[in-house]
Chains A and B, each alone.
Chain A
Amino acid sequence: MSRGGRIMKPFATLLDRLVLTPSRNGKLTLLADYFRDTPDPDRGYGLAALAGTLDLKGVKPALLKELALERLDAVLFQYSYDYVGDLAETIALVWDGGGKERVAEGGQPRLGEVVARMNALGRTEVRGAVRDLLDHLDHSSRFAFLKLATGGLRIGVSARLAKQALAQMSGRDVTEIETLWHGLEPPYVSLFSWLEGRAEKPVLASPAIFHSVMLANPVEEGDLEKLDPADYAAEWKWDGIRVQMSSHGGTKKLYSRSGDDISGAFPDVIAAINFEGVVDGELLVGGTARSNSATRTFSDLQQRLNRKTVNARMLADYPAFVRAYDLLFEGGQDIRAQTFLARRERLTGLIDKAPHDRFDLSALVPFNDWDTLDRLRIAPPDPVIEGVMIKRKDSVYQAGRLKGPWFKWKRDPFNVDAVMMYAQRGHGKRSSYYSDFTFGVWADGEEGEQLVPVGKAYFGFTDAELEVLDKFVRDNTVERFGPVRAVRAEPGFGFVLEVAFEGINRSTRHKSGVAMRFPRIARLRTDKLPRDADKLSTLMAMMDAAAPPVEKA
């Protein structure tokens, strides 16, 4: 083996320690130390892995699973995966078939070498190369490599935290790093050179890249009373998806709020872009306000989402448009440091000249005091509005979710009392708990009232509540189907959950005929018996009330 030093190891060690370090400051220190002490290009690939920008071509989860299945029965593999809750860790653990760990002679390969090698290989060679690599890595390094390849490290480190560590290591402002971020690529050599003061700040090739978006915090108890309403502007919060349009030198792109390029699915929007700059807005289906047609529901928008291409029929039946919220770049000029009102003035001019059927401006909602705004929020004038956004008039556009400048104040969610029917182990840090719950409500069946499942929720509860839920599942399992447990759910005995959700739609895929949006467990109703839970007809009525028929434009 001539694979150099033990350089996969620092990254593997970093992952091992990050997993077990609960405190944010502890993680920052570990990350900053890693970035400082690890040479290029390894640290850049490490950064990419942490920030979710590393792509090992050809090494995909499906291939890794196939390799694992070469040595382990598929059913046993599935049981293992259900238990561990993490593909990379499962494969790392079962790889030796339970044999004792071997440490390879000649040490471990460098992270940079591994990435370069994997990306240089042809499709047919990758399989053998990955198998060979996994055989020669020690347990920690194998886990680290698998994590790189499967993406989504789930180790409690966000891209934001990694950038903060870069800021901590270099003394630079994290906003400066965010501004550059989407214009750079792994292994980020120019970024590190600049951070270490050895080179000038990298120059972005094109501003038609994605720029990290500014996010709002939910309004919490007592937040607003400290604030002067005169300092803030309000807009409706529309129930579409947040997007960014980026247009420069003839290159036009539409990005989701996480930076995925979704241009391919929205040729109607792309073709209509007649401006240069970067616009933040809400992608919706229907017609713009200034073409006097209705904004259609999220379920209509869903027809257009998650597609690579789109046909003429779709384009005609579900026309997309963007309701503009903000302007980040005007032409090539970065105006993010200007105030919200100043940016909005420029945005108004830009949208005014843009095609009226594809773009409109998100209207300001006039208000003088928080009570007025509260009333508007609770009873908005359009069913596709899900609340209000509150933005400080002098706020600059800062990537991330800072507390203070922007708030979201949503319409209160729907609530039903439902009965726990099935439970499954969670994933990641929840893998030892039954934390994914399928719940049902009562419906008329052939043998009288019976429970029909209406949704699944896996968050909303506290850790202490999870203990209670988990214990109920363990003590009241009546049947098991692989990883799924059916629990006792009878009129006189069972567990009632108050489920909150954002919306409800008809669904042909679910047996009950309804599909909830963002269902979560709002409260444990240990004070109620299953017979007190809601009926399917209640949900049906909510659906009718929530989504009045919309005339098609």
Chain B
Amino acid sequence: MKPEALLHPTPAGLFCPPGQFYVDPVRPVERALVTHGHSDHARAGHGHVLATRQTLDIMALRYGVDFAGAGQAAEFGEAVTVNGVTVTFHPAGHVLGSAQIAIEKDGLRIVVSGDYKRGIDPTCAPFSPVACDVFITEATFGLPVFHHPDPKTETKKLLASLLQFPERTHLVGAYALGKAQRVIRLIRDCGYDQPIYIHGALQKLCDYYAGQGIELGELRPATLEKSNPAAFHGAIVVGPPSAFQDRWARRFNEPLISFASGWMMVRQRAKQGGVELPLVISDHCDWPELLETITEIAPSEVWVTHGREEALVRWCEMQGIPAKPLHLVGYEDEGD
């Protein structure tokens, strides 16, 4: 069987003809396998969704309990048969519940890694490499310019800034699912035990993480009492980056805008976003990690889904590994 017969790109997403299912479809389909809960991978409206328990929970939190016709929970490492195709979920280390999906038939195994990272992250299970014939990788940070520093060193910059500017409210931009909880956890691991204030959009997901045993410390809603504008002096407020462009951000005292993202590696990116304190904290692989992962798994072929696929394809070719871009549409080019 040629790998393309087992899995190939379609406008709705990666499709497995023998299994009659899609992986992370961008349009509503009858049967979907979902790697993780980020909204560009996990969409509402499918007939049947197979995903990890946590991903199903997160989808329900975001879209409501009727986000799909039916949900089926996959356990890490346990094979499930879908129309004669063997499907196994493995941890991807991206966000809570995130999985790689191994798809197997007639001795051919393709691993769809979804979004993944190799760095330490106490808020989710670590990536486990799975031997395969075809490894499908993302390339969000697939350029040699990206090498993410130690996230704790980055987090300490935030704490140093709090000492330097004790009057200013430190607004930390972080995506609502995964990044926000990871950053909060990092702040705690660096020894900060004051309450951390969160934007309303983070509340449900932070509660869910806490319920899954991920200790986030005391979180308070970042709602301002009119009578007390000094309340947030020197406080850390975590919110989705989109909120910072909003009137919402202006209520704080001389807000110092910080943003936790792999994109902060590039100065001009930070500048563009009006970010004063860039924190290079990423939930994706940097360039060295992408190369390490491919070298470690040693697949006979690499397919690249989204991001800077041309550079990663080039590197694979230089190593003599057949590689091709899948040109999937609909995934956030810049999401991290």
Contacts and interface: CB of A to CB of B under 8 A. Distances in A.
Whether A associates with B in a native complex is yes
Interface of A: 16, 19-22, 72-73, 75-77, 79-80, 83-86, 89-90, 93-94, 96-101, 143, 156, 428-432, 474, 480, 482
B145 interface: yes
B314 A100 contact: no
A100 B149 contact: yes
B268 A90 contact: no
Given A20-B275, A83-B308, A89 B268 contact: yes
B60 interface: no
B276 A428 contact: no
A19 B278 CA distance: 11
Interface in B305-329: 308, 310-311, 314-315, 318
Nearest to A26: B276
> Which of B145, B277, B291, B334 is the most central at the interface, judged by chain A CB atoms within 10 Å of its CB?
B145
Contacts, number: 91
Contacts of B270: 19-20
Contacts of B334: 432
Given A73-B314, A73-B318, A474 B145 contact: no
Contact of A431 (B150, B268, B291, B308): B268
B144 A75 contact: no
Assign chain B's interface to a size class. 20 to 34
B265 A86 contact: no
23 contacts: A19-B267, A20-B276, A72-B144, A76-B314, A77-B144, A79-B310, A80-B144, A84-B266, A84-B268, A86-B267, A89-B268, A90-B145, A93-B266, A98-B286, A98-B287, A98-B288, A99-B288, A156-B271, A429-B268, A431-B269, A432-B268, A432-B269, A480-B310
B95 to A, nearest CB: 23
Interface string B136-158: 00000001111101100000000
B266 A431 contact: yes
Interface in B260-283: 263, 265-272, 274-278
A79 to B, nearest CB: 4
Contacts of A430: 272
A100 B145 contact: no
8 tightest CB-CB pairs across the interface, nearest first?
A: A93-B145, A98-B288, A98-B147, A79-B311, A94-B144, A80-B145, A98-B287, A19-B267
A80 B145 CA distance: 6
Nearest to A86: B268
A432 B314 contact: no
Contacts of B268: 19, 84-86, 89, 428-429, 431-432
A98 B267 contact: no
A83 B266 CA distance: 10
Contacts of A76: 143-144, 311, 314-315
Nearest to B330: A475
B75 to A, nearest CB: 35
Contact of A100 (B147, B263, B276): B147
Contacts of A19: 267-268, 270-271
> Which of A72, A76, A80, A482 is the most central at the interface, judged by chain B CB atoms within 10 Å of its CB?
A76
B30 interface: no
A22 B274 CA distance: 7
Contacts of A93: 144-147, 265-266
B193 interface: no
Contacts of A73: 314-315, 318
Nearest to B144: A94
Contacts of A83: 143, 145, 266, 308
A86 B272 CA distance: 14
B66 interface: no
A8 B143 CA distance: 28
Given A20-B271, A94-B145, A89 B266 contact: yes
Contacts of A89: 266-268
B147 A429 contact: no
B296 interface: no
Contacts of A20: 267, 270-271, 275-278
A401 B308 CA distance: 42
B333 interface: yes
A89 B145 CA distance: 9
Contacts of A16: 267
